[in-house]
Amino acid sequence: MAPDQELKRKPRGASVTWLRSCLVLMVVLVGLAWPGYAAAGAPGRLKTGFLYGDIYLKHETGSGHPERPERLTAIVARLKQNGLLNELVALKPVPASTDWLRTVHTQEYIERVRKDCQGGSGYVDSPDSPASADSYQVALNAVGGVQSAIDAVMEGKIQNAFCAIRPPGHHALKDKAMGFCLFNNVAIAAKYIQQKHKLAKVLIVDWDVHHGNGTQAIFDEDPTVFYFSVHQSPFYPGTGSAEDKGVGKGLGSKFNVPLPAGCGDADYRKAFEERLKPAAAAFKPDFVLISAGFDAANGDTLGGMKVTPQGYAELTRIVKGIAEASCHGRLVSMLEGGYNTEALAASVEAHVRVLMGSAAQ
Ligand SMILES: [Zn+2]
């Protein structure tokens, strides 16, 4: 090899080493900037979280009550049987601090829930909201479980999550239990996203067959929380007319789509495509929450709608698309109603499959 050729090779070798160092540095910097890289090894591969704990079975509502522990055991059994549990990131509940409950509920009400549950009266405020001795602790874990899921999304450990929780929350008012609900899980979740994680705007999509009167009342005057509800009307609790669009500064940030009994997939899809999508595009949420009741399912024992598991998959696809377009796919879904355990489990499976990124049923 001629000396001049030897001289030419050295700088080339040095530049390759230099390029390699730059590449390593870039990977490290991207990893630091986006924890998702560290958690999943590559972008777009973050998994879906599944939050569940046996503590949710300790909320006893009495013999024959539709809101019963078997709702959750049916969901878990179905996901296990069809091989989904292994693919999901298991998240465990923790009790929420009462400080977070106070972002939505009055101290007097929180104390009343505790006393009513532990005192053994069998309900909170009225028989409309049954409760057992452990129900206060269970309800704290429902709120805290959703908060854990939000943290996991924000820390880049998961892309999104479904929370199989009890008791449900969307009827609970700031100072009153209603419709099987003690603490308003989704409302506290929205406050948690804003105050703990410093995100400004939260979209709540509520497809439970009942209007989430508690959630709407809590945020009626708050333009930073957009509440969208499709529900059967006329029906319990009697709120959520199309004219009901929020109050004061919150006017325009509440969107109700009441539908008559008997509606199915096409009606729901139309409401989501034509009403929710443009409203969400204008609102540009920083985080999306779903009040995922499955009592609009075909065959539900309380609701009168006919939504199929495929229908719920389609609605999930639309909401997931909204989250991807506006807030990096940040989405946490939590159980509300759904009382036919078979229809509930099949609907949740379809919902979770889409959250996981699979179009298959
Ligand atoms: Zn419901």
Q: How far is CA 65 from CA 69, 130, 179, in A?
A: 10, 9, 12
User: How far from each other are the two terminal CA atoms of the chain, in whole angstroms?
Assistant: 66
**Catalytic pick among 105, 170, 171, 351:** 171
16 — pLDDT class (breaks 50, 70, 90): low
CA of 88 to the centre of ligand 1 (A): 26
Query: Does 328 map to a domain?
Result: yes
Per-residue pLDDT of 226-255, as tens digits, reads 999 999 999 999 999 999 999 999 999 999
Q: Ligand 1 centroid vs 274 CA: distance in angstroms?
A: 23
pLDDT tens digit sequence for 260-309: 999 999 999 999 999 999 999 999 999 999 999 999 999 999 999 999 99
By the 8 A CB rule, do 314 and 269 touch?
Answer: yes
Amino acid 45: pLDDT: 74
pLDDT value at residue 146: 99
- Cis check: omega of the bond before 130, within 30 degrees of 0: no
pLDDT, position 7: 42
| Structure confidence by residue, pLDDT tens digits, 296-344 | 999 999 999 999 999 999 999 999 999 999 999 999 999 999 999 999 9
What's the CA-to-centroid distance between 18 and ligand 1, angstroms? 61
Specify the number of domains making up the chain: 1
Let me know if residue 187 belongs to a domain.
yes
**Any domain includes 337:** yes
Percent of the chain topping pLDDT 90: 86
Residue 122 domain flag: yes
What is the sign of the dihedral through the CA atoms of 318, 219, 158 and 329?
Answer: positive
- Between the CA of 335 and the centroid of ligand 1 the distance, in Å, is 10
Q: pLDDT band at 221, cuts 50/70/90?
A: very high
**Is 171 among the residues known to form the active site?**
yes
Ligand 1 center from residue 339 Cα (angstroms): 9
- Cα distances (Å, whole numbers) of residue 168 to 1, 18, 68, 336: 79, 57, 11, 5
pLDDT, residue 63, reads: 95
Pairing of strands 123-124, 126-130: antiparallel
Average pLDDT, the chain: 91
Instruction: List the single range of 13-27, 48-62, 247-261, 265-279 with lowest mean pLDDT.
Output: 13-27
Alpha-carbon distance of 210 to 294, in angstroms, equals 10
State the pLDDT at residue 3: 42
- More reliable by pLDDT, 15 or 9: 15
Which amino acid belongs to residue 300? D
pLDDT of 358 strictly over 90? no
In a domain, 360, yes or no: no
Q: Angle at the Cα of 288 (from 68 to 303), degrees rounded to 5?
A: 35
Residue 245 sits in a domain whose CATH number is 3.40.800.20
- Given this model, what pLDDT does residue 305 score? 98
pLDDT given for residue 31 in this prediction: 47
| pLDDT tens string 64-75 | 999 999 999 999
Binning pLDDT at 50, 70 and 90, where does residue 24 land? low
Q: Which domain holds residue 223?
A: 50-355
44 assigned to some structural domain: no
Question: What pLDDT score was predicted for residue 71?
Answer: 98
pLDDT bucket at 94, cuts 50 / 70 / 90: very high
Cα 39 to averaged position of ligand 1 atoms, centre (Å): 36
Strand, coil or helix: what is 59? coil
Judge whether 62 lies within some domain.
Answer: yes
Tell me if 32 is assigned to some domain: no
pLDDT exceeds 80 at position 17: no
Percentage above 70 pLDDT, the chain: 87
Distance 168 CA to ligand 1 centre (A): 9
CA of 303 to the centre of ligand 1 (A): 8
